[in-house]
Structure 1
Amino acid sequence: MKDLATAMVFLKARLREDEAAARAVKPGKDEGVAGLQARVLADVKAKRRLVAWVEANFGTTWKANAEDQGLPFWQKTIVELIADVPEYFRSPVIYGLLTAYEDHPDFQPEWKLIDDEPEYEPVDYEKRR
Structure 2
Amino acid sequence: MTTTRRTEPFRYSLYPPIEASLEILSIDGQPLPCKPAQIDLIDISKSGCRVRTELNLHASSHDLRILLHVRLSDEMRTFPGEIRWQKELEPSSQHYGLRLELNPEEKEKLNIELRGMAAARRIIVK
Say yes or no: TM over 0.5: no
Q: TM-score, normalised by structure 2?
A: 0.21
**Structure with larger Rg:** 1
Higher-helix-fraction structure: 1
Higher share of residues assigned strand:
2
Question: TM-score normalised to the size of structure 1?
Answer: 0.21
